[in-house]
């Protein structure tokens, strides 16, 4: 007789640093196996958990069932309550809110079904395409500026050039890169053709082309080659590529990131600024707090220069990012006692960012709670 499925809440514990990942499932044992498989393959959806798994090894993690529940209760609510409870005493890996994404596991399984290799990728395709635009658009400019002399480029050579120019090693190892590069070529104004199909026309234009190779030509030039096939006596001008103004407009369009979901923006910011936030977390014990306005200005300037986000979600994204690294914002109007105990006299400092655990160690945050309770009696 098959074992009965356990339905409830579970956790994955890092025994080295005591960080915890909280989850829920209608079949806890199967979910544990899914986590292990994804982590072993380096394809886990939670990049924080995956990073520590790679760093400390499988033997440093324990899979524990917290509680089991019948079919009447809503697991997403219980998971949220458990996460909030663990946040008080532990650092957690969880990034998303289970109440905001009630069907996220179903969505993930659908994505797995669509994926021929059955894996969940760390980055979305739109994010990878955006990274290609950010890092390689100068290369696209160079291709367009030189296309008039060359007429075509060998796709294999351009692929190597592009891959060697990428700085994000995690993207270069993504097995979807060949297909995504093809999509990106199309976005930046190039079409991929089979050389043998247009060898006669290209030879007529004065260029030699190898047989049975994929080549890149400007998309507008494809119609020219087709016309040459229909009318062999017709001689066109050589392609000039996109103008600088067209390229600038195209780049701006490709970097427009409003279609990306909020949780993806948060994940992207956490990746981009992981070094800065980790350093800030290490120094918080000595500094005790950071001025939120200065913090925001620094990251907004970096975001603007890198074109990471270009819409009004930026404040919400930053707030969520701070939370992911264990920081919380304290406003003077609500926590005036904290400002007094920390000795903050600058009237322009209206909001600070601090770590609750550090404030507890300094006997600041509990004392505020005590003072607030006393004043209300």
Residue 22 — φ and ψ, nearest 5°?
A: -105, 135
End position of a domain, from candidates 253, 285, 303:
253
CA–CA distance, 120 with 207 (Å, rounded to integer): 44
**What pLDDT does residue 22 have?**
92
Whether residue 248 sits in one domain with residue 130: yes
Residue of 271, 217, 347 whose CA lies nearest to 50: 271
- Domain contains 120: no
- How far apart (Å, rounded) are the C-alpha atoms in residues 292 and 332? 11
- Is there a domain that residue 2 lies in? no
- Is residue 301 in some structural domain? yes
Residues 136 and 218 in one domain: yes
Q: What is the pLDDT of residue 168?
A: 67
d(CA 263, CA 104): 12
- 42 and 160 together in one domain: no
- The gap from C-alpha 279 to its chain's centroid, in whole angstroms, comes to 20
Q: Is 343 helix (H, G, I), strand (E, B) or coil?
A: coil
Distance CA 133, CA 127 (A): 10
Are 32 and 54 contained in the same domain? Answer: yes
pLDDT value at residue 111: 40
Query: What is the structure's pLDDT at 21?
Result: 93
Residue 330 CA to residue 81 CA, distance in Å, equals 23
283/201 same-domain check: no
pLDDT value of residue 256: 58
On whether residue 1 sits in a domain, the answer given is no
Q: Are residues 238 and 338 in the same domain?
A: no
Torsion of CA 106, 108, 110, 114, to 10 degrees: 180
The answer to whether residues 242 and 285 belong to one domain is: no
Q: Digits of tens for pLDDT over the chain (377 positions)?
A: 456 778 889 999 999 999 999 998 888 888 898 899 888 887 888 888 888 898 888 899 999 999 888 765 678 788 888 888 888 888 888 877 676 554 444 434 334 334 544 566 767 787 788 778 878 888 888 888 888 777 889 999 999 898 888 876 677 777 788 888 988 898 888 888 888 888 888 888 888 888 888 899 888 888 888 888 888 777 777 666 777 777 776 776 666 555 556 776 777 778 778 888 888 888 888 888 888 888 888 888 877 665 555 455 678 888 888 888 888 888 888 888 888 888 888 888 888 888 877 777 766 765 444 444 433 33
3-state secondary structure 294-324: HHHHHHHHHHHHHCCCCCCCHHHHHHHHHHH
Tokens of 22: 């909280």
Structural domain boundaries, residue 309: 262-376
Element (H, E) at 61: strand 61-68
Q: Is residue 34 part of a domain?
A: yes
Of 199, 218, 253, the residue at which a domain comes to its end is 253
In terms of Cα–Cα distance, which of 353, 349, 350 is closest to 328?
A: 353
pLDDT of residue 13: 93
- Are 227 and 297 found together in one domain? no
Q: What is the CA radius of gyration of the chain?
A: 27
Do 163 and 216 reside in the same domain of the chain? yes
Total domains, the chain: 3
Q: What per-residue confidence (pLDDT) applies to 239?
A: 66
Q: Is 181 helix (H, G, I), strand (E, B) or coil?
A: helix
Q: Is 119 a domain residue?
A: no
Characterise 206 by phi-psi region: left (phi > 0), alpha (psi -120 to 50), beta (else).
left
Same domain, 323 and 270: yes
Matching residue, tokens 């696209």: 140
* Residue 282 placed within a domain: yes
Q: Same domain, yes or no, for 237 and 130? A: yes
- Choose one of 114, 139, 174: the last residue of a domain: 114
* Residue 32 located in a structural domain: yes
Identify the CATH number of the domain in which residue 60 sits: 3.40.1440.10
Pair (130, 242) in one structural domain: yes
């Amino acid at each position: 007789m098959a074992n009965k499925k356990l339905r409830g809440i579970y956790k994955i514990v890092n025994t080295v640093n005591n960080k915890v990942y909280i989850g829920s499932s209608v079949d806890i044992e199967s979910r544990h196996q899914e986590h292990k498989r994804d982590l072993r393959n380096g394809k886990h959806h939670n990049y924080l958990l995956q990073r520590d798994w790679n760093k400390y090894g499988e033997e440093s993690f324990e899979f524990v069932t917290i509680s089991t529940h019948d079919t009447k209760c809503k697991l997403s609510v219980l998971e949220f309550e458990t996460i909030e409870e663990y946040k008080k005493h532990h650092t957690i890996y969880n990034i998303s809110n289970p109440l905001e994404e009630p069907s996220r596991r179903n969505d993930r399984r659908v994505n797995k079904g669509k994926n021929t290799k059955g894996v969940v990728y760390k980055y979305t395709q739109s994010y990878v395409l955006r990274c290609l635009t950010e890092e390689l658009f100068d290369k696209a400019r160079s291709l367009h500026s030189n296309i008039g002399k060359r007429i075509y480029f060998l796709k294999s050579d351009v692929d190597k050039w592009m891959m060697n120019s990428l700085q994000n090693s995690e993207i270069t190892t993504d097995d979807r890169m060949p297909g995504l590069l093809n999509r990106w070529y199309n976005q930046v104004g190039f079409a991929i053709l089979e050389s043998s199909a247009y060898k006669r026309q290209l030879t007529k234009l004065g260029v030699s082309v190898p047989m049975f190779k994929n080549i890149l030509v400007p998309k507008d030039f494809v119609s020219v080659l087709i016309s040459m096939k229909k009318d062999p006596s017709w001689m066109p001008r050589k392609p000039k590529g996109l103008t600088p103004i067209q390229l600038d407009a195209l780049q701006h369009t490709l970097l427009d990131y409003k279609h990306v979901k909020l949780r993806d923006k948060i994940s992207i910011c956490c990746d981009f600024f992981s070094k800065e936030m980790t350093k800030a977390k290490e120094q918080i014990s000595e500094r005790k707090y950071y001025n939120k306005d200065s913090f925001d200005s620094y990251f907004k300037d970096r975001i603007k220069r890198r074109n990471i986000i270009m819409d009004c979600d930026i404040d919400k994204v930053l707030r969520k990012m701070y939370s992911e690294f264990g920081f919380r914002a304290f406003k003077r109007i609500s926590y005036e006692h904290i400002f007094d105990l920390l000795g903050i006299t600058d009237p322009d400092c209206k909001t600070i960012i601090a770590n609750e655990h550090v404030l507890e160690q300094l006997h600041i945050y509990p004392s505020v709670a005590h003072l607030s309770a006393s004043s209300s009696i």
